[in-house]
Amino acid sequence: MALFNFRAKDQAPVAKTGQIEAFLTGYSIEVMPRTAEKIEDFRALLPLGTRVYIAHIDGTPIEDMVTTAKRIVDEGYSVMPHFPARIIKDKATLTDWVARYKDVGVHQGLLLAGGVAEPVGDFHSSMQLLESGAFAGFDRLHVAGHPEGNKDIDADGSDRMVMEAARWKSAFAERTDAQMAMATQFCFEAAPVIDWVNRLQAEGVKLPVHIGVAGPAKLQTLIKFAIACGVGPSLRVLQKRAMDVTKLLLPYEPTEVLAELAAHKAANPGFGIEQVHFFPLGGIKTNAQWVTENGGQAGKPARAA
């Protein structure tokens, strides 16, 4: 699959093949127990050691989460389950979850508030989870990032509270021995992401960014998920594409946004994006195959399909 697009001179440069490969190295991907069940063997799709996040949707039994985690760990992958604060009843429940994951070889977690409006118990934010002390023995904790803001947190459309929380989390990482990073919501334009990452650095937020990217999918599927997840102004990329009848039925691929980010990272090695995190909205297999085709060695699966 070709990586090069011919672009006007005033537009951002497109990355060379080697830059794409470097940018995708160490990428992560997100699954759910029900989507993971459809994959016979992750080794046929993913490079060995890939970090696999397991999304914990409200209503999913912890037993299903742990069973999925064990299976993926046993196949040779680094597993990072979600810990959504608002669906965790109390510290005893949190401690139990952490212990269950440790028992199957998990020592990483993504801590986030969660998508439910009202907390079911004592926790309502990832900061409370960080301060709980429950994650002793975990070697890596990630938190959520919002390149285009989050109206559930900042109802006025600003990012004041989101940025304040980012500074707090960065300070937490500095005063503890936690290995931390910020895994973000997906968006569809490079320029806003670049501006946001630069602003984080200007605000003193030192957490490395694992930038969220939507994997290949049908346009209608992406628009549905983007609206449901509160994606901001970059949604216009999909809306514009939907108005072009020549592209309406073609699947969306993240080639352009990744090429621009890869080119920027190559030109600015200190730029704060550390890794790419994929949301496989068009399917895990489709996403993994796209990375294999576009990322060279960065996407080479552990076992030939």
pLDDT along the chain (305 residues), means of 10: 34 63 97 97 97 96 98 98 97 98 98 90 96 95 84 61 90 92 90 94 96 88 64 56 54 91 96 97 95 94 75
d(CA 227, CA 240): 15
| pLDDT reported for residue 153 | 62
Give per-residue pLDDT as tens, 8-63.
334 444 456 689 999 999 999 999 999 999 999 999 999 999 999 999 999 999 99
Instruction: Tell me which of 3.20.20.220, 3.40.50.880, 3.10.620.30, 3.30.1330.10 is the CATH number of domain 17-299.
Output: 3.20.20.220
d(CA 19, CA 262): 6
What are the domain boundaries of the chain? 17-299
Indicate the pTM of the whole model: 0.87
Residue 75: count of CB within 10 angstroms of its CB? 18
Q: Give Rg (Cα) of the chain.
A: 19
Smallest CA-to-CA distance from 257 within 18, 9, 10, 23 is with 23
